[in-house]
Amino acid sequence: MPDNNNIKVFAEKLNLYYGHTQALKDINICIKEKEITALIGPSGCGKSTFLRTLNRMNDLIPFVTTAGTLLIDNQDINKPDVDVVALRKKVGMVFQSPNPFPMSIFENVAYGPKIHGIKDKDELSYLVLKSLKEAALWDEVKDQLNKSALSLSGGQQQRLCIARVLAVEPEILLMDEPTSALDPISTLRIEELLQELKKQFTIVIVTHNMQQAARVSHVTGFFLTGELLEYDLTENIFTKPQHKKTEDYITGRFG
Amino acid sequence: MLNKKKLNKRLVLPKAAEAIIRPILFTSALTAVFVIVLIAFFIFQKGWPVISSYGLWNMLSGTVWQPTKEIYGILPMLTGTFYITLIALLIGIPFGLATAIYLSEIAPPRTAGIIRPAIELLAAIPSVIYGLFGIVVINTFMRYLQRGLLSGILPPDYQLGYSVLSGGIVLAIMILPTIINIAEDSLKAVPRAYKEAALALGSTHIQTIFRVLIPAAKSGIVSAIVLAMGRSIGETMALIMVIGNVTALPQHGLLSVFAPSSSLTATIALEMGYAGPQHQAALFAVGIVLFCIIALLNSFVIAFTRRGGQQQL
Amino acid sequence: MMTRPKGKERFIYLFLVFSGYATLTILCVIMGYIFLKGIGHVSLDFLTQSPRKMGAEGGIFPVIVGTLYFVALTVLIAAPIGVGAAIYLNEYTREGTITKIIRFGTELLAGIPSIIFGLFGYAFFVVLLGDFTQGWSLLSGALTATCMVLPTIVRTSEEALKSVPRALREASLALGATKWQTIYKIVLPTGLPGILTGIILGIGRAIGETAALLLTLGGSLLLPQSIFHGTRTLSMHLYMVAMETGNMDAAFATGVILIIIVLLINFTANYLIKKLINRNSTAAIRR
Ligand SMILES: Nc1ncnc2c1ncn2[C@@H]1O[C@H](COP(=O)(O)OP(=O)(O)OP(=O)(O)O)[C@@H](O)[C@H]1O
Ligand SMILES: [Mg+2]
């Protein structure tokens, strides 16, 4: 058992099956509070799958079974009596492609607080403002909060989705290739944003972009065919990887 | 910002909602099945005594329907329904399929964009409108034909305008949308590759349609036809208005298409209005026959399209 | 577009084209004929006065009111059940034996002829539950019609729910929304145009229905006072006037009103479908 109390996520021998096909094999991982962890690896190696175990989004897929230990704040989140709704409130998720709801910008951000029971207008407005500021979107949208979220650009939409997550005041942020659908400038803005956010949140980000992983993260995990092959400080992974395969992958010789 | 206790209190409500909502939705979903069972139960409960005391075979083969004298032969209505449906299909299938092919293969998008909504409208027009059109236009025309060109060969009671043929024509129009829509969908579902392969081998467009597309869309076309059949067997109001509702067996061979007739559906609808208890029970027995025919046809379609659909994938 | 075929194929080709246009022509002829014959008889008096002599003279005011009541009551009962069923099938369960049975039942129900619904409605709602429904009444008619329109609403609503992008559901759930919150606040509003389409198509079917209602709704020409009174719809009125009084002018005029309603229903449904497609494709493009 981890005794260090700034450990946020702890997995030991975590296995996951889609029906009979194994997607995660004996994953051991230990993610510290208020750090950015990058997950890299070739397509289909299980990065998204791992990420989705952390907020139990895999529950939505039929015939998924998991085995092993997965603790968040020292609580086993796979226990049957776990309140999934509360878990997902604590563990926010930003998806690969921006998926704003077809409603106004304000309503998008206010959605989370509202479903968690906040009715007070002022409280909602405050949360919306705070979250949009945190997501570095406020200046661009402050005059058009009632406009449809679908009218924003892709990069703005993604920051809106981040704001939407921040509004429920999570502790962990899961990001599955959050910039893969964006242009370089929007990507840069989100990377800057990450540096701000890590002061408050524990962030796990999946990325296919090696520079991005190197730029933003403290720790990097390299996944290969369902295994966490190498897991170390980002510095180490990118300068002196232990495995030949890691080296091949990060230098682009993989294949 | 948010204190935990406050939050927990607020969360109680959605959770309670979750717990009761599922059974409510499940009940809604079961309603359709429930209704089917109830329908079968009530029709059989009311009609079965007549069938079991009168005899199913006596009923199906009896040529006289005089419910007031407790004579329940339904052969005249059965043949009426059968002939009318046959005529409707003979006219409706060629035109329906041709239209489906035209829409999916030939029509320029703009023309198709006018014809498709027209077909939707055709499907939406109430039966009684077709009936009204049938009495006033088709039956009038039929009467001219019967009393003019054909007056020499038709007996006088076949010169009323009300006829099997009118019923068939009206139904042919009414089943067009069913045939066209389903057939067009199945033609469109044929993979492009088939068509391209055939064209690349040098077949003409028409050859491709008839040798490749139609065979590939066979299962959809069959269900279109069977559903159309079900629709014409089940149609009530338009028929009541145009066929004359005479429960007599046609006697004059092919000329019988000009005879006034009755159908299973029309008899039930007309006579329920004034029937006494025993007569009502007999009408429910007719309902049993109708229900069984339709249930059989539809089960066939449902089973057939499921299998057909899988084959196409 | 293909080049025009030659020889024997030309006849086939022409037949195909002819059929396409024939369908259009038939529609125009039927609607045009009813319209021309009936429009002269439609007037403000016709719409606002009570019928005399069984509808052979006078107007159709109580019939219009009766139709509205009947449709409203049917929608009130059928829409929650139908939409609820669609939600259950699409959101709350996985494909399995139970959904197969439900789907089979729904499809079977869609194919049952209206006169069978009439017999059933008569035996069940009018006779057996007569103490509650007061026999032939708006309530009996609406309950019967509910059974008839249910498949339409279920199917169309299910299509609508299916068209809601999965990404929206995931986003909502990932924010800690419960399943029902997600459905109620995201899925239903997004699929609303499609659901409305289903309800409107159901209304179309109920308005066009006659045979089942002859046995359950009664056919009274009085203004209905409550859901326990009988009434008649426009379709029933058309039939009764044409067959019982023989006054074809009044029948055609009623037909005109019916056709106008059907046209309105169709246009609304098409408009809503377009809206649904537009909305969800803009949301889906960025998937
Ligand atoms: N819903 C599912 N059902 C069955 N198998 C799945 C499902 N989702 C993913 N898989 C399988 O699990 C494995 C891991 O998938 P995952 O999506 O986690 O990969 P990934 O590393 O995120 O890839 P990418 O970089 O392409 O996003 C793959 O082999 C995939 O085929
Ligand atoms: Mg992935």
A104 bridge partner residues: A148
What DSSP letter does each residue of chain A carry, written as one string? Answer: ----TTEEEEEEEEEEEETTEEEEEEEEEEEETT-EEEEE-STTSSHHHHHHHHTTGGGGSTTEEEEEEEEETTEETTSTT--HHHHHHHEEEE-SS----SSBHHHHHHHHHHHTT---HHHHHHHHHHHHHHTT-HHHHTT-TTSBGGGS-HHHHHHHHHHHHHTT--SEEEEESTTTTS-HHHHHHHHHHHHHHTTT-EEEEE-S-HHHHHHH-SEEEEEETTEEEEEEEHHHHHHS-SSHHHHHHHTT---
Element (H, E) at C138: helix C138-162
Single-letter code of the amino acid located at A180: S
pLDDT at B205 (0 to 100)? 82
Residue nearest atom 6 of ligand 1, based on CA coordinates: A18
For C180, name the nearest residue in chain A, comparing CA atoms only: A115
Which chains touch C (3+ CB pairs under 8 A)? A, B
Alpha helices in C49-137 (DSSP H): 61-87, 97-111, 114-121, 130-133
For residues C73 and C71, give the distance between their C-alpha atoms in angstroms, rounded to a whole number.
5
pLDDT at C3 (0 to 100)? 57
Place of tokens 């899988």: B310
Ligand 1 touching residue A43 (CB < 6 A) = yes
For residues A219 and A205, give the distance between their C-alpha atoms in angstroms, rounded to a whole number.
10
pLDDT digits over B11-33, tens only? 455 667 778 888 999 999 999 99
pLDDT at A184 (0 to 100)? 87
Give me chain A's average pLDDT, please: 89
Residue B17 near residue C180 (C-beta atoms within 8 A)? yes
Domains of chain C: 61-236 (1.10.3720.10)
Q: Which residues of A touch B6 (CB under 8 A)?
A: 117
Contacts of B125 (CB under 8 A, 6+ apart): C30, C31, C208, C259, C262
- A interface test, pick of B3, B6, B7, B15 with most A CB neighbours within 10 Å: B7
pLDDT at C281 (0 to 100)? 56
Does the pLDDT of residue C202 top 80, yes or no?
yes
Residue spans of chain B under pLDDT 70: 1-15, 306-313
pLDDT digits over C149-196, tens only? 999 999 999 989 998 998 999 999 999 998 899 999 999 999 988 898
Neighbours of C235 (CB within 10 A): 27
Does the pLDDT of residue A64 top 60, yes or no?
yes
- A interface test, pick of C91, C172, C175 with most A CB neighbours within 10 Å: C175
Element (H, E) at C267: helix C248-285
Domains of chain A: 7-77+84-250 (3.40.50.300)
Closest partner CB to C171 (pick from A60, A95, A181)? A95
Does the pLDDT of residue A180 top 70, yes or no?
yes
Does the domain at B56-312 match CATH 3.30.70.980? Answer given as no
Does the pLDDT of residue A252 top 60, yes or no?
yes
Residue B180 near residue B119 (C-beta atoms within 8 A)? yes
Contacts of C84 (CB under 8 A, 6+ apart): B24, B25, B27, B28, B29
Which chains touch A (3+ CB pairs under 8 A)? B, C
Output DSSP code: residue C217: T
Give me chain C's average pLDDT, please: 88
β-strands A64-72, A227-233 pairing: unpaired
A64 bridge partner residues: A18
Q: What are phi and psi of A76, to 5 degrees?
A: -75, 115
Directed axis angle between helix A154-166 and helix A105-115, to 10°?
Answer: 20
pLDDT at C285 (0 to 100)? 38
Q: Which residue of A20, A47, A204 sits with most ligand 1 atoms within 8 Å of its CB, as the best mutation to test the pocket?
A: A47
Helix, strand, or coil here: C6?
coil
pLDDT at B4 (0 to 100)? 41
Place of tokens 């409510």: B24
Q: Three-state SS across chain B?
A: CCCHHHHHHHHHHHHHHHHHHHHHHHHHHHHHHHHHHHHHHHHHHHHHHHHHHHCHHHHHHCCCEEHHHCEECCHHHHHHHHHHHHHHHHHHHHHHHHHHHHHHHHCCHHHHHHHHHHHHHHHHCCHHHHHHHHHHHHHHHHHHHHHCCCCCCCCHHHCCCCCHHHHHHHHHHHHHHHHHHHHHHHHHCCCHHHHHHHHHCCCCHHHHHHHHHHHHCHHHHHHHHHHHHHHHHHCCHHHHHHHECCCCCCCCHHHHHHCCECCHHHHHHHHHCCCCHHHHHHHHHHHHHHHHHHHHHHHHHHHHHHHHHHHHC
What is the pTM (predicted TM-score) of this model? 0.86
Residue ranges of the domains in chain B? 1-54, 56-312
For residues B90 and B88, give the distance between their C-alpha atoms in angstroms, rounded to a whole number.
6
Ligand 1 touching residue A221 (CB < 6 A) = no
Ligand 1 touching residue A18 (CB < 6 A) = yes
Helix, strand, or coil here: C51?
strand
Cα-to-chain-centroid distance, residue B94: 17
| Nearest partner of C181 among A113, A150, A55, judged by Cα | A113
Give me chain B's average pLDDT, please: 86
Lateral strand order in the sheet of A227-233: A91-94, A172-176, A202-206, A36-40, A219-224, A227-233
ipTM of the complex: 0.88
For residues A33 and A162, give the distance between their C-alpha atoms in angstroms, rounded to a whole number.
19
| Nearest partner of A97 among A52, A51, A160, A42, judged by Cα | A160
pLDDT digits over A2-29, tens only? 456 688 899 999 999 998 899 999 999 9
Helix, strand, or coil here: C232?
coil
Helix, strand, or coil here: C7?
coil
Single-letter code of the amino acid located at A194: L
Q: Which of B145-154, C31-40, C137-146, C225-234 shows the lowest mean pLDDT across its residues?
A: B145-154
Q: Which of A40-44, B199-203, C118-122, C163-167 shows the lowest mean pLDDT across its residues?
A: B199-203
d(CA A45, ligand 1 centre) in Å: 7
Would you state the structure tokens that stand for residue B5, as one six-digit string? Answer: 């206790």
- Of all residues in chain A, what percent carry a pLDDT higher than 70? 97
pLDDT digits over B264-312, tens only? 999 999 999 888 889 999 999 999 999 999 999 988 888 877 644 433 3
pLDDT at C1 (0 to 100)? 44
Does the pLDDT of residue A178 top 80, yes or no?
yes
Neighbours of B135 (CB within 10 A): 21
